[in-house]
Amino acid sequence: MTSVNPEQAWGAGSAGGIPALWSAAVKNGWYLSEEGDQPPIGLWRINTMGYVWDEEKSPRWIFTGFSNTWSTQDEGESAWNAVTKQLSGTLALR
């Protein structure tokens, strides 16, 4: 989870919102729902999970988010990036 391809390093635990010298691990998932799945059908399910620790290797937070109503994959990823940035900005102050 710490060696994610750069194009998949979005969402919870992404380095975009954490302080310098902190580290993050991230695991994301995305899936366009189709016939036979639980509703809603034809929308993107964009999920994210991240773990963040500070420069002293002390755990700071774990965040997991699930969503299933995005028209596009990019919309879901952008939304999780925004949530993560806000969350990181708040939690990094504590």
> Cβ(29)–Cβ(65) under 8 Å?
no
- Write the DSSP assignment of 27-81 as a string of letters: EEEEEE--TTSSSSPSSEEEEEEEEEE-TT--EEEEEEEEEEEESSHHHHHHHHH
The string of pLDDT tens digits covering residues 39-88 is 999 999 999 999 999 999 999 999 999 999 999 999 999 999 999 888 88
Mean pLDDT of 11-27: 82
Write down the pLDDT at residue 89: 83
Task: Tell me if 1 is assigned to some domain.
Answer: no
pLDDT band at residue 34 using 50, 70 and 90 as cut-offs: very high
Domain count, the chain: 1
> Cβ(22)–Cβ(52) under 8 Å?
yes
Query: Where in the sequence is the domain holding 10, given as residue range(s)?
Result: 6-91
Task: Tell me if 17 is assigned to some domain.
Answer: yes
Task: Tell me if 16 is assigned to some domain.
Answer: yes
